C-alpha cells in the first residue's frame, strides 16, 4: 500500500509539472532596421501577445484559487467529521468503562451469592446429617417391646420425654430443612439472573467495542482523505505561486514595452509623424499637458463624444474618478478638475497634481491670443501640470493629430462603436 501511495504521489507531481503554463518569449525591443512607426506597430503586437498570456495566467490563477477554496471547504468538512468521530470514540470509551465497572460489580455480587449458596448448602448438609441421626433414634425407639419398657420402668418417664423430644426435633428439623432448601433455591435463581445480566452487559460492551473499532477505522480513512486533500491543496498553491511568478515576469516585460511605446508615440507626435490608426491600449500615453492655443494657463481640455455628440463622461458611465474604479481610466495622472462642465457642455478642464519639473509656481508669458471671438489677454499664466502624460482611457486608435485654428495642438482617439475622445492644448 505504501509503495502504491508513493507511485501515485509521484504520478501527480509529474502530471502537475507537465500542466504548468509555459511563458512564451516576447521581444521587448525592435529589430534595428525598423523605423519608429514600424517599431511602434511591432511593440504593440508584442504587447498584445503579453496581454493574451497575462489573461490566460489570470484565468488559471482564478481556477487554482477556486480549487483551493473547494479543497479548503472539503478539508474543513473532513476535520469536522474527524472531530465528531473522536468525540464519539471518547463517548464509547466512557460507555465501555461504565460497562466494565458494571461487570465487575455483578461479578462481586455473583461471588457473594455463590458464597451464600455454599454456606446454606453446608448448613443443609449438616442439618440433613442431624436429621438422619434423629430419624435413626426415633426408628430405634419405635421398636421397644413391652417387656423392655417394663424392665426399664424406672426410666420410663425419661424414655418417654426423650422419644417425644426426638419427634418434635425431627419436625422442626424438617421445617428448617425446607426453609434452607427454599433459601438455597432463591439464591440460585438470583445467581442465574445476575449471571444472565452479566452476560448481557458483556455482550453490550463487546458491541460498543466493535463500534469503537469501526469509528477508529472511519477516523483513519478520514485522516487519509484529509492528507490527500491537503497534498492537492499544496500542489494547487505551488501552481498558483508559479503562475504569479510568471505573471510578474510578464508584468516587467509589459512595463518595459509600455515605456518604449509611450516614448515612440511621443517622439512621433513631436515630429508630427504619428500616423492615424495608430493602436493604443488603455493607459498608453497619447500626449502631454501643455498650454497651446486659446488657453488660460497649462491644462487639458478633455471631451468625450458619442457619434459626434459631446456627452457627459461621468453620467454616461465612460469615465471615472482618480481612484481608478469603474470602466475607464482617468486621462491624466492625479488630475485636479478646474472646470466642469465647460463652455455650457460636458467637457472637462483639468491639470495634473503630480510633481513635474517647473511645475511649482512657475509661470509663462503670452502676448495674448484671439480666436473665435475669444481672447486670452497678454500676461503671465500658471504652468502647473505642464508636461504631465495624458493617457488613453480605453483600448483604441489615434484617429487624428492636428493643430486647431487657435494654435492648440490636439489628439483624437477612437475607441470604436462611435465613441471618441479629444485631448486639447497639448504641449
Q: Cell numbers of 348, please? A: 472637462
Rounded to whole angstroms, the Cα distance separating 277 from 413 reads: 9
Could you list the residue range(s) of the whole structural domain that residue 363 is in? 277-426
For residue 425, give the nearest of 271, 303, 285, 290 by alpha carbon: 290
Rounded to whole angstroms, the Cα distance separating 18 from 12 reads: 10
Contact assessment for residue 287 and residue 423, using Cβ atoms and an 8 Å cutoff: yes
For residue 191, give the nearest of 122, 113, 105, 106 by alpha carbon: 113
- 348 and 297: one domain? yes
Domains in the chain, number: 2
Distances, alpha carbon 192 to alpha carbons 101, 103, 202, in Å: 20, 15, 15
Q: Which of 275, 308, 340 is the last residue of a domain?
A: 275
Contact assessment for residue 68 and residue 237, using Cβ atoms and an 8 Å cutoff: yes
- How many CB atoms sit inside 10 A of residue 49's CB? 17
Contact assessment for residue 82 and residue 215, using Cβ atoms and an 8 Å cutoff: no
Q: Which of 275, 290, 309 is the last residue of a domain?
A: 275
For residue 365, give the nearest of 287, 266, 297 by alpha carbon: 297
Rounded to whole angstroms, the Cα distance separating 191 from 321 reads: 93
Rounded to whole angstroms, the Cα distance separating 216 from 222 reads: 10
- 250 and 329: one domain? no
Rounded to whole angstroms, the Cα distance separating 250 from 243 reads: 10
Rounded to whole angstroms, the Cα distance separating 44 from 282 reads: 12
- 296 and 161: one domain? no
Predicted pLDDT of residue 4: 41
Phi, then psi, of 42 in degrees rounded to 5 = -65, -45
Question: Quick check: helix, strand or coil at residue 359?
Answer: coil
Q: Which of 275, 295, 319 is the last residue of a domain?
A: 275
Question: Quick check: helix, strand or coil at residue 336?
Answer: strand
Predicted pLDDT of residue 423: 93
Predicted pLDDT of residue 292: 92
Indicate the DSSP class of residue 351. E
Predicted pLDDT of residue 242: 93
Q: Tell me, what CATH number does 79's domain have?
A: 1.10.287.2610
Predicted pLDDT of residue 260: 83
- 287 and 259: one domain? no
- 370 and 310: one domain? yes
Predicted pLDDT of residue 63: 92
Q: Cell numbers of 421, please? A: 475622445
- 151 and 35: one domain? yes
Predicted pLDDT of residue 224: 92
- 11 and 57: one domain? yes
Rg for the chain (alpha carbons), in Å? 54
Q: How far is CA 321 from the centre of its chain?
A: 34
pLDDT per residue rounded down to tens, the chain (427 residues):
444 444 444 444 444 444 455 656 667 788 888 888 788 888 878 888 888 888 899 899 999 989 998 889 999 988 888 888 888 888 888 888 888 888 788 778 777 877 777 776 777 667 667 666 666 655 555 555 555 544 454 555 555 565 566 566 666 767 766 776 777 777 778 777 777 877 887 888 888 888 888 888 888 998 899 899 999 999 999 999 999 999 888 888 888 887 787 778 767 766 655 667 788 888 888 888 899 998 989 999 998 888 888 887 776 666 665 555 555 667 887 788 887 766 556 788 888 887 655 566 788 898 888 887 778 899 899 888 888 888 888 889 888 888 888 888 989 999 999 999 999 999 8
Output the pTM of the full model.
Answer: 0.48
- 354 and 219: one domain? no
Rounded to whole angstroms, the Cα distance separating 98 from 92 reads: 10
Rounded to whole angstroms, the Cα distance separating 281 from 261 reads: 10
Amino acid at each position: 500500500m505504501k509503495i502504491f501511495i508513493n507511485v501515485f504521489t509521484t504520478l501527480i507531481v509529474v502530471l502537475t509539472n507537465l500542466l504548468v503554463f509555459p511563458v512564451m518569449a516576447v521581444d521587448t525591443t525592435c529589430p534595428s532596421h525598423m523605423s519608429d512607426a514600424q517599431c511602434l506597430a511591432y511593440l504593440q503586437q508584442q504587447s498584445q501577445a503579453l496581454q493574451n498570456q497575462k489573461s490566460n495566467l489570470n484565468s488559471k490563477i482564478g481556477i487554482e484559487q477556486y480549487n483551493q477554496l473547494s479543497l479548503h471547504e472539503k478539508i474543513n468538512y473532513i476535520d469536522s467529521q474527524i472531530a465528531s468521530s473522536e468525540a464519539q470514540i471518547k463517548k464509547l470509551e466512557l460507555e465501555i468503562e461504565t460497562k466494565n465497572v458494571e461487570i465487575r460489580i455483578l461479578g462481586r455480587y455473583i461471588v457473594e451469592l455463590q458464597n451464600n449458596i455454599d454456606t446454606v448448602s453446608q448448613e443443609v448438609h449438616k442439618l440433613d446429617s442431624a436429621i438422619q441421626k434423629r430419624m435413626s433414634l426415633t426408628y430405634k425407639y419405635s421398636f421397644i417391646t413391652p417387656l423392655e419398657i417394663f424392665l426399664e420402668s424406672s426410666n420410663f418417664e425419661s424414655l418417654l420425654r426423650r422419644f417425644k423430644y426426638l419427634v418434635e426435633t425431627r419436625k422442626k428439623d424438617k421445617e428448617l430443612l425446607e426453609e434452607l432448601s427454599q433459601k438455597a433455591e432463591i439464591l440460585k435463581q438470583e445467581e442465574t439472573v445476575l449471571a444472565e445480566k452479566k452476560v448481557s452487559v458483556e455482550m453490550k460492551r463487546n458491541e460498543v467495542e466493535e463500534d469503537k473499532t469501526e469509528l477508529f477505522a472511519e477516523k483513519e480513512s478520514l485522516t487519509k482523505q484529509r492528507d490527500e486533500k491537503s497534498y492537492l491543496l499544496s500542489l494547487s498553491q505551488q501552481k498558483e505561486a508559479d503562475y504569479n511568478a510568471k505573471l510578474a515576469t510578464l508584468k516587467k516585460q509589459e512595463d518595459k514595452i509600455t515605456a518604449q511605446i509611450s516614448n515612440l508615440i511621443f517622439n512621433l507626435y513631436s515630429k508630427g509623424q504619428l500616423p492615424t490608426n495608430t493602436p493604443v491600449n488603455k493607459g498608453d500615453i497619447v500626449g502631454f499637458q501643455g498650454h497651446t492655443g486659446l488657453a488660460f494657463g497649462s491644462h487639458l481640455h478633455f471631451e468625450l463624444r458619442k457619434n459626434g455628440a459631446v456627452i457627459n463622461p461621468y453620467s454616461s458611465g465612460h469615465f471615472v474618478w482618480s481612484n481608478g474604479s469603474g470602466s475607464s481610466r482617468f486621462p491624466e495622472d492625479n488630475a485636479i478638475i478646474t472646470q466642469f462642465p465647460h463652455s455650457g457642455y460636458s467637457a472637462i478642464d483639468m491639470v495634473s497634481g503630480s510633481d513635474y519639473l517647473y511645475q511649482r509656481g512657475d509661470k509663462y508669458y503670452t502676448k495674448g491670443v484671439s480666436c473665435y471671438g475669444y481672447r486670452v489677454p497678454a500676461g503671465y499664466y500658471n504652468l502647473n501640470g505642464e508636461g504631465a502624460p495624458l493617457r488613453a482611457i480605453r483600448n483604441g486608435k489615434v484617429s487624428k493629430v492636428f493643430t486647431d485654428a487657435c494654435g492648440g495642438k490636439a489628439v483624437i482617439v477612437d475607441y470604436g462603436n462611435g465613441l471618441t475622445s479629444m485631448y486639447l492644448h497639448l504641449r
